[in-house]
A and B are shown apart, each in its own frame.
Chain A
Amino acid sequence: MKRIKFSDHVILLAGVFFMVAPVALAFLTSTHDAVTIYKSGMQFTFGDQFLQNYETVLTRAGGFTKEVDGLVMLKNSLILGLGFAIGKIIISMLAAYAIVYFRFPFASLCFWVIFCTLLLPLEVRILPSYEIVQGLGMVNTYSGLIVPLIASATGTFFFRQFFLSVPDELLEAARIDGAGPWKFFIDILVPLSKTMIAAIFIIMFVYGWNQYLWPTLITTEESLFTLVRGIKQIMQVWIGAQIPDFNEAMALAILAMLPPVVIVVIFQSWFIKGLVESDK
């Protein structure tokens, strides 16, 4: 039996404070006007500019950028998050299926080629990656934004691990029941992977939504900016400004984190399962 002490709760509450307070402050600050913030710092109360600030950020072009408003950035973030997650899931499920369930020449070569991508983060090969995408004319396109990010084999690895844990007898039973490769995949494996797909979707959506460096390089046209990419723009406006629009900056930060946070919190158990189990 574990005895629970008062101090345990104190430590946990301190931890919660440490994690929550900065974001809470950012949110409260985003409800005030810029001058107030400039004069008296980040705000600890709920101000009267909430609707106005968020409306400005969402709808007024030229707040930070000259051409796009927050809604367009929101749309682009969604496209990046969804496109990345869906593309990655489809591509990596197919690849993992081939690797786990088929015997074919050069299987292990294919396996290693795909999995060596886990070795090198994009950041390390950023310059040549940029040049190649530029050479292919994919700068300032959604495909240029999304497809190169899919190159890493994380999803393939997740699904490979999951497929390996599916009992062999299921394939055997299905073969006796007359299911070929496609039928087995569609009728058995995909429905079986539902929770796994959901978990990976969440992880990948968050990952895609949160991309920064790559969008910063690949999208120079403002109409393609994502919310997270927009942050880069804020910083540039800040440097020259007399009174920086701290309030709108914080509103943008809150907007940029809201969708992934909501998804992660709502689908917590799936997400944690996906995160922890796929790494085993």
Chain B
Amino acid sequence: MKPVYLKPESLKDVVTSYCPGCGHGLVHRLIAEVIDELKVREKTIGIAPVGCAVYAYDYFNFDVAEAPHGRPPAVATAIKRCLPDRIVFTYQGDGDLASIGTNEIIHAANRGENITVIFINNANYGMTGGQMAPTTLPGMRTTTTQKGRDSKLHGFPLRVSELLATLEGTVYIERVSLIDPANVIKTKKAIKKAFSNQLTGTGFSFVEVLSPCPVNWGLKPLEALKFVKDQMIPYFKLGILKDKTEEMKKEKGA
């Protein structure tokens, strides 16, 4: 009998430390499937963030480095410049990428580094126990906004994809979600495109995944998906924010 569902070779056969219903594990799997399908496992170098995904090297079955908090884009820049034919990607949460590491992500994007960035937006700081993130929604309760985020005090949620789309150096930017199987498939398609672009040397590709964090949100896994759908998506609109892929491919003769 032909098996229809196997563990991707790019994932190790281990139990992750992620909470039930967390989006990280799912996105890890999608990345692993894409890397298998593109047959680049043996030339991929991943950069883990500081955040819940810090242990990504325990889960991915390829080379992984753990960067200081927020610095994965700087680390990835150097790796890609030293080894241009390898596949280099960063995997970052919203504290890592949109707060402490805003400088690094903006400049890596603006330089048009030929890397892939997978950005997990779960609207809070998961690893440190659910504090406010730059992406926390107005009125949303976190351990440091116990009465709900007050935009007068804490400003507004940062739309990183929109921000990066304004930069000349970026090629492909899409925001996706994991709210149902159809959207999971869309997410995988976006991730695959973001990695394929690197293979053709097309340039900086960025996928923002709206990801559930049931434990820190105080919701059950299904309720958390509903929260993404009803609360997050209206603020963080899904879809392609920028796509110069075909244009860049022509330019490169790819």
Chain A partners chain B: no
Interface of A toward B, CB cutoff 8 Å: none
B binding-site residues for A, Cβ under 8 Å: none
